[in-house]
Structure 1
Amino acid sequence: MLYRPLGHTGLDVSVLSFGASSLGGVFRTTDDSESIRAVRTALDLGMNFIDVSPYYGATRAETVLGRALAGVPRESYVLATKVGQYGEGQFDFSAARVTRSLDESCQRLGVEYIDLLQCHDIEFADLNQIVHETLPALVKLRDAGRIGHIGITGLPLKIFSGVLDQAPAGTVETILSFCRYELNDTALDGLIPYLQGKGIGVINASPTGMGLLTERGVPSWHPAPRQMVEVSRRAVAYCQAVGADIVKLAVQFCVAHPAIATTLVGSANPENIRRNVRYIEEPIDFELMAQVLAILKPIHNHNFTRGRPENRDALIG
């Protein structure tokens, strides 16, 4: 496993990391014992960064992850969780709630310390509240030694500069972006020089675009417009026709970016975790990648967005 520095945090994280939303049964019905084996498999294979949230599975993901981490040396993994989102459409970024949220998460996870505490999906928040109330509360927790580092997460790219340009330097140390660096959308790449200039660690998630680049396809709730879905299906079909796995290509593509510290993959299936690790250890088929990128070119950087109107990215495509 290859490791990269996470910005200026001093943390070295595996280039492929464990997204624990799957432990909450948010994608399919899961068995907790299998989920626990998946976490242990990830750790055994060198994935040292784990990302979770109280929102995933209505706290189930944190609870199951806590059981999986019981007895595992605390210094052997980097643990990230989130504050601010607690249920479908339920957001509370007040200082009192995020402080209490840390206590609740630590209890479920069976730990006393969180390496990285992130504001979850801030596109649904008033960014002024994030800057002037939420982040100062997290700084107090960091100063008290309860957490190591502070991050922000979300889908629209504009939210990151919207906060980083206002918050005092060194307050936010990482960003977590999803669906904006993958085979069909590399818009995050344009933001990376700005983030590097501020010493921000970059966490990438959803290398398959939440199902766009999979044989199973997108779930019914997926927000992608019709053209994105149809062109993505053509890329999937091409890979199937030549006996290739587009998920492998998607994961390899993301991990290859040297400025992205880590890419999250989520599965409650131990064999899926083993498969993803094998993917990044195998050489990239650049000829195949060129063919797939050509198929996806009509929708390159086409996007979908969400959140409060002022926080949404302009739509392309």
Structure 2
Amino acid sequence: MQYRTLGKTGYDVSSISFGAWAIGGTWGEVSEADAMAALHKALDLGINFFDTADVYGDGRSERLIARLRRERPEAFYVATKAGRRLDPHTAGGYNAQNLRGFIERSLQNLETETIDLLQLHCPPPEVYERDEVFGVLDGFVGEGLLRAYGVSVETVDEALTAIKHPNVSTVQIIFNAFRLKPAEQFFAAAREANVGILARVPLASGLLTGKMTPQSSFAPDDHRNFNRHGEAFDRGETFSGVDFETGLQAVEELRPLVPEGMTLAEFALRWILMFPEVSCAIPGAKNAAQAEANARAADLPPLSEEAMRGVAAVYDRLIRPQVQDLW
């Protein structure tokens, strides 16, 4: 496992970390036994950063990570998110009272006194403009409820606005071979501001594993079934906003770029790590085998310039017209 510094937090985090959305919910059924096996395997392989949210399974994901802490002596970092419990989800809801309530609930779920990293969970765009919201978070750091805070965003513009606030330590943003805009328009600014980057949806909701076909089907409670057009939340969260059929075509054009002995999923994760501004990629895992497959990418050799150019060419021709201007 390789490690990188997570922006202003100073945490040295595994370059392949663990995204805990899948073990919480909206990815189909995942048993507690499988979820715990995935978490334990990740820790076994040197993964030391786990990203969750209070709405993943209504706290289930946080509680599973708390169980991992009870069962293992190793120290590791946990990031969670707050804000999406608001109903309605409005900018005005991001106030001291509501945020404190969300944080206290997460502290209880995680069985800890301080959250390593709290992220605003894809709030309405106007929240990023409000100094008072970030002042509230500064206050929570001062109280010892949080060690650091950051944001999880939908768009590059939101990321650029967020890092104008001096104590934003991290930005979580969708970045993968089907979403190149962050590298083109955000990474340099993040590097200058010493902001850590968490690459989420790194496998484009599974498209970049290369295991899907036109006949692939998903469980009723899997967002890949019910959110393809943004019915439940931002469409970009599902297959990175790429039309499913176009994504399958792009995957076939990526296959010849994959070095011998490497899977497409490993290639896709290693591609993300070719960007030094990325602190870590956070693929999800529903079981121990998936956690192990994800972790392998951290120790693969660098990709060739030819492969990097090939990915960009596929993006430019098939993907860019669909996603570049939306996120």
Residue of structure 2 equivalent to 1:49: 49
Residue of structure 2 equivalent to 1:156: 155
Residue of structure 1 equivalent to 2:18: 18
Structure 2 residue matching 1:126: 3-state secondary structure? helix
- C-alpha deviation, 1:96, in angstroms: 0.6
1:260-282, Cα deviation, whole Å (9 max, x unpaired): 11110111211111111123323
CA distance in 1, matches of 2:2, 2:278: 12
Runs of 4 or more, structure 1, over 4 Å off, are: 87-91, 224-228, 238-244, 287-293
Q: Aligned letter for 2:266?
A: K
Cα RMSD between the aligned structures?
A: 2.8
1:87-143, Cα deviation, whole Å (9 max, x unpaired): 786463221111111111111111111111111102x25326x63333222111101
Q: Is contact 2:15-2:298 (8 Å) kept? A: no
Note the 1:1-317 alignment, pairs <5 A. Answer: 1-73=1-73, 76-86=75-85, 90=89, 92-122=93-123, 124=124, 126-127=126-127, 131-165=130-164, 167=165, 169=166, 171-178=167-174, 181-189=175-183, 190-214=185-209, 215-216=211-212, 219-220=224-225, 221-222=227-228, 223=235, 228-238=243-253, 245-283=263-301, 286=304, 291-304=310-323, 314-315=325-326
- 5+ residue gaps, structure 1: 305-312
- C-alpha deviation, 1:23, in angstroms: 1.4
CA distance in 2, matches of 1:153, 1:238: 30
CA distance in 1, matches of 2:34, 2:133: 36
TM-score, length basis structure 2: 0.82
Higher relative contact order (CA 8 A, sep 6+): 2
TM-score, length basis structure 1: 0.84
CA distance in 2, matches of 1:27, 1:136: 35
CA distance in 1, matches of 2:274, 2:303: 12
Of all paired residues, the percent bearing the same amino acid is 25
Q: Is contact 1:23-1:65 (8 Å) kept? A: no
Count of residues paired in the alignment: 300
- C-alpha deviation, 1:209, in angstroms: 2.0
Q: Aligned letter for 2:168?
A: V
Alignment CA distance shift 1:192-1:105 (3 Å):
same
279-288 or 58-67, larger mean C-alpha shift = 279-288
Structure 2 residue matching 1:61: 3-state secondary structure? helix
Alignment CA distance shift 1:314-1:268 (3 Å):
same
Alignment CA distance shift 1:227-1:33 (3 Å):
closer
Alignment CA distance shift 1:279-1:200 (3 Å):
closer
CA distance in 1, matches of 2:29, 2:291: 17
Q: Is contact 1:231-1:296 (8 Å) kept? A: no
- C-alpha deviation, 1:248, in angstroms: 1.8
1:256-315, Cα deviation, whole Å (9 max, x unpaired): 2111111101112111111111233233564666555444431354454xxxxxxxx843
1:34-61, Cα deviation, whole Å (9 max, x unpaired): 1011111111111111111011112221
24-33 or 86-95, larger mean C-alpha shift = 86-95
Name the one with the larger helix percent: 2
